[in-house]
Amino acid sequence: MKKGISIAVASLLMVALAVASVRVGAVHVSFGDIWSTLMREPNRSFYIVYEVRMPRALVGILAGFGLAVAGVILQGLLRNPLASPDVIGITKGAGFTAATVLFLFPKSPSFALPVAAFAGAFVAFGLLLLLSRKLTLTPASLALVGVAIGAIFQAGTQYLIVKHPSDISMALLWMAGSMWSRNWSDFFSLLPWIAALLPVAWISYSKLNVMQLGDDASASLGLNVVRQRFWLLLLAVGLAGISVSAVGAIGFVGLIAPHIARSIVGNRYQWLIPLAALIGADLMLLGDCLGRVLIVPREIPVGIMTAVLGAPYFIYLLRKERLRRS
């Protein structure tokens, strides 16, 4: 009962934050104008609501779903409470290839940036997979190799920034993570991927539950651990890569949302996955709302706001983990 109530509350909070996201900003929009727009009735705020803020909020929701569920899967597979798409280098890989397009091919069509980011995420995954086979890495070691891969991609991104200082503004905005100027095209590009991958993640909950017992116990129960870890890692990379390709290199959502959900519903993945997805969307919307009201009419990128919201919790997790091991 408690689990169902938690999911319902997170869903209602997401709706409330979505409405707030449509209302707030440099131009304040009334509830009446929002309702009229939903009814497709003309009003003075129709363009702002329908063409600017609605797709922006919906993109944030979908990206929050993807990043949070990717974090849930990675934390379960690596058996590391501090794992996230950042930890295994996915976000940094996507950021490097996106920066390459921004700096070296500035006149590329608009779809080139998300395609490049998505490809970069899979390149990072390929390197992780290659090294894991060469070095026979344990789940814990995978996280360390992921950090090293991420550092390499980050160094490449910084090199591009230093080499092309005149083109830095857009690249920094994208790498900080931003929902600025997201439109219906971005939403419909993201929607089919999230709609396809999220159900796959949820129906994999039984395998994730079994894998928490450890490799030996999972194998004794008939689970092909190596194969399942590969496919689940691929699923997490897909979710994180497509999300990063839409909103930029946003951190902390994939780390914090699973922890908040786990503290509420425990480690049963049939509940953990949907609740973490909703909390991820809530964090994205909350960060975007705060970023638009703190220094009106300017905006703070949502990636900076999620870092501000998530960093204190991350420090708390580190301290808790240290105390648990001592």
Query: What would the pLDDT profile of 129-153 be if each residue is shown by its tens digit?
Result: 788 766 555 666 666 788 888 889 8
Cis peptide before 192 (omega within 30 of 0): no
How many angstroms separate the CA atoms of 232 and 201, rounded?
8
Whether residue 283 contacts residue 67, with contact meaning beta carbons closer than 8 Å, is answered with no
Q: How confident is the model at residue 99 (pLDDT cuts 50, 70, 90)?
A: confident
Enumerate the domain spans of the chain: 63-279
| Residue 136 per-residue DSSP state | T
- Of 52 and 248, which is predicted with more confidence? 52
AA identity, residue 121: A
CA 171/CA 37 separation, integer angstroms: 33
Q: Is the dihedral of CA 188, 195, 8, 265 positive or negative?
A: negative
Q: Give tens-digit pLDDT for 5-17.
A: 899 999 999 999 9
Assign domain 63-279 one CATH number from 3.30.390.50, 3.40.50.1010, 1.10.1040.10, 1.10.3470.10. Answer: 1.10.3470.10
Give the integer Cα–Cα distance in Å for 9 and 34.
23
Instruction: Evaluate whether 250 touches 244 at the Cβ level (below 8 Å).
Output: yes
Check pLDDT > 80 for residue 49. yes
Spatial contact of 22 and 49, defined as CB atoms under 8 Å apart: yes
pLDDT for 321: 66
Q: Using pLDDT thresholds of 50, 70 and 90, give the confidence band for residue 310.
A: confident
Report, as an integer, the average pLDDT of 229-243: 87
Backbone phi and psi for residue 270, each to the nearest 5 degrees, phi listed first: -65, -25
Report helix, strand or coil for 102.
Answer: helix
| Pick from 179, 170, 169: nearest CA to 299 | 179
Contact yes or no for 187/58 (Cβ under 8 A) = yes
Question: What pTM, to 2 d.p., does this model score?
Answer: 0.88
